[in-house]
């Protein structure tokens, strides 16, 4: 048996432990090593949909080269970055807004929608930044439950449109349910909805999807359709969540509105890192490959336990435990794993973000030890 070092004990879970807790922790660590996977000396962040591999080496070099500019205002290569992203996505440069994370585009879009004191239609559950912000500044949010298979119900969303509906908000792939709205079906829906109101599509996880039937709506922006806004982010596959770089794609009139209302200005480090990372396809391909490896590990656990889950092409998944998620999260955190917050009304579903394969093997081992028998007994 491998010896458990004092450093492992003190770092595990990231907490300062009293002497009275040491025997318990020793027993836990020894038991876990006996299973073959030791508890890491850090908290596993399986609740925040971050890229565990980023930033890439070229992005890190760009950050290092830009540190000397940190005394200066502005964002350095902003024009070059906007031009690069426009070229990658096949849109004119005046159709792109650079922001401090896609969250700024989402909130600004929510602010624009709230001006008319109308309603916004969205799926439920879905990512909250736009609708939460819009609701706080006066919009009425119409939440349309996802279908039994967790897919967004476009027919029901269309039926929920009211005379005062000023925006339809879509997240594709959705979050926390990592379901896809496929290109052919979504394109017609977007074009129909955009005749009389804004349609906002959040594509934060676009780069992870490999399904050939899926596609971005950015071609509609390139074609000149006016009432469509798309947001993207460098926080996910590029691993730049802490540097806050995001983009909005829209008709130039809406880009101008976004730029006028934004409160952030970007920074040298984030802009330089994004400019490097968007050209580093090797890193993006590596991230996708390792993400699929981690996803296969947890999906094998789902199949072993016989639990219901949503097949994912993002860097997170969503599965039914049958146990209140707050109880699941509290137990996992005691073992150094942070998992996704509750997503009402799915109080017994858990969202987990993919970390490295080694970390996800530890997650699987721990989850099975804590809940495996309980879940299988309930299913029997």
Residue 17 sits in the same domain as residue 84: no
Residue 348 lies in a domain: yes
Coil, strand or helix: which one is 346? strand
Residue 340 lies in a domain: yes
Q: Can you give the pLDDT at residue 35?
A: 57
Rounded Cα gap, residues 101 and 245, in angstroms: 4
The pTM is what?
A: 0.88
- Provide the number of structural domains found in the chain: 2
Q: Among 348, 349, 274, which residue's Cα sits nearest to residue 54?
A: 274
Decide: 66 and 370 in contact? Cβ < 8 Å: no
Residue 132 sits in the same domain as residue 76: yes
**Torsion sign, CA atoms 89, 93, 99, 102:** negative
Q: No. of H helices and E strands in the chain?
A: 15, 12
Q: Among 242, 158, 248, which residue's Cα sits nearest to residue 203?
A: 248
Residue 26 sits in the same domain as residue 167: no
Residue 220 lies in a domain: yes
Domain boundary among 277, 312, 345: 277
Residue 20 sits in the same domain as residue 155: no
Q: Which domain holds residue 179?
A: 57-277
Q: Can the peptide bond before residue 156 be classed as cis, meaning omega within 30 degrees of 0?
A: no
CATH number at residue 215: 3.40.640.10
Residue 294 sits in the same domain as residue 150: no
Rounded Cα gap, residues 253 and 45, in angstroms: 39
Residue 138 sits in the same domain as residue 266: yes
Residue 81 sits in the same domain as residue 154: yes
Residue 234 lies in a domain: yes
User: Rounded to the nearest 5°, which phi and psi values hold at 56?
Assistant: -70, 170
Residue 298 lies in a domain: yes
Name every residue whose Cβ is closer than 8 Å to that of residue 85 and which is 6 or more positions away in sequence: 96, 98, 232, 247, 278
Q: Two tokens at 305?
A: 């336990």
- Integer distance in angstroms from the first to the last C-alpha of the chain? 35
Residue 162 sits in the same domain as residue 66: yes
Residue 249 lies in a domain: yes
User: Rounded to the nearest 5°, which phi and psi values hold at 363?
Assistant: -55, -50
> Can you give the pLDDT of all 380 residues of the chain as single tens digits?
333 333 332 233 333 233 333 344 434 443 444 457 999 999 999 999 999 999 999 999 999 999 999 998 887 799 999 999 999 999 999 999 999 999 999 999 999 988 878 999 999 999 999 999 999 999 999 999 999 999 999 999 999 999 999 999 999 999 999 999 999 999 999 999 999 999 999 999 999 999 999 999 999 999 999 999 999 999 999 999 999 999 999 999 999 999 999 998 889 999 999 999 999 999 999 999 999 999 999 999 999 999 999 999 999 999 999 999 999 999 999 999 999 999 999 999 999 999 999 999 999 999 999 999 999 888 77
Rounded Cα gap, residues 375 and 308, in angstroms: 11
Q: Can you give the pLDDT at residue 321?
A: 96
User: Rounded to the nearest 5°, which phi and psi values hold at 312?
Assistant: -120, 145
Residue 205 sits in the same domain as residue 300: no
Residue 225 sits in the same domain as residue 269: yes
CATH number at residue 32: 3.90.1150.10
Domain boundary among 251, 277, 303: 277
Q: Can the peptide bond before residue 173 be classed as cis, meaning omega within 30 degrees of 0?
A: yes
Residue 1 lies in a domain: no
Q: Two tokens at 34?
A: 């006996």
Residue 267 sits in the same domain as residue 287: no
Domain boundary among 226, 254, 277: 277
Residue 258 sits in the same domain as residue 297: no
Residue 306 lies in a domain: yes
């Amino acid at each position: 048996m491998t010896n458990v070092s004092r450093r492992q004990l003190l770092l595990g879970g990231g907490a300062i432990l009293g002497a009275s807790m040491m025997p318990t922790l020793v027993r836990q660590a020894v038991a876990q090593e006996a299973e073959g996977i030791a508890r890491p000396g850090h908290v596993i962040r399986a609740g925040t949909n971050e890229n565990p591999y980023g930033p890439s080496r070229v992005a890190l070099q760009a950050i290092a080269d830009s540190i000397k500019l940190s005394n200066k205002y502005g964002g350095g290569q902003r024009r070059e970055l906007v031009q690069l992203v426009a070229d990658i996505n096949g849109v004119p440069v005046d159709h792109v807004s650079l922001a401090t994370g896609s969250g700024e585009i989402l909130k600004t879009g929510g602010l624009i929608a709230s001006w008319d004191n109308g309603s916004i239609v969205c799926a439920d559950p879905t990512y909250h930044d736009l609708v939460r912000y819009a609701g706080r500044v006066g919009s009425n949010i119409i939440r349309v439950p996802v279908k039994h298979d967790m897919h967004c119900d476009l027919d029901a969303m269309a039926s929920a449109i009211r005379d005062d509906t000023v925006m339809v908000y879509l997240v594709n792939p959705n979050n926390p349910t990592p379901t896809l709205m496929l290109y052919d079906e979504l394109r017609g829906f977007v074009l129909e909805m955009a005749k009389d109101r804004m349609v906002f599509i959040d594509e934060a996880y676009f780069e992870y999807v490999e399904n050939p039937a899926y596609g971005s709506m950015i071609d509609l922006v390139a074609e000149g359709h006016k009432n469509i806004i798309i947001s993207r982010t460098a926080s996910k596959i590029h691993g730049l969540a802490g540097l806050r770089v995001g983009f909005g794609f829209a008709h130039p009139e809406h880009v101008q509105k976004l730029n006028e209302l934004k409160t952030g200005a970007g920074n040298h480090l984030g802009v330089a890192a994004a400019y490097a990372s968007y050209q580093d396809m090797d890193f993006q391909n590596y991230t996708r490959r390792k993400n699929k490896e981690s996803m296969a590990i947890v999906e094998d656990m789902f199949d072993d336990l016989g639990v219901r889950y949503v097949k994912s092409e993002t860097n997170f998944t969503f599965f039914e435990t049958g146990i209140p998620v707050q109880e699941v999260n509290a137990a996992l955190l005691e073992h150094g794993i942070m998992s996704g917050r509750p997503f009402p009304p799915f109080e017994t579903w858990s969202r987990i973000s993919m970390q490295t394969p080694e970390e996800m093997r530890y997650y699987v081992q721990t989850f099975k030890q804590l809940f495996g028998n309980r879940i299988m007994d309930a299913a029997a």
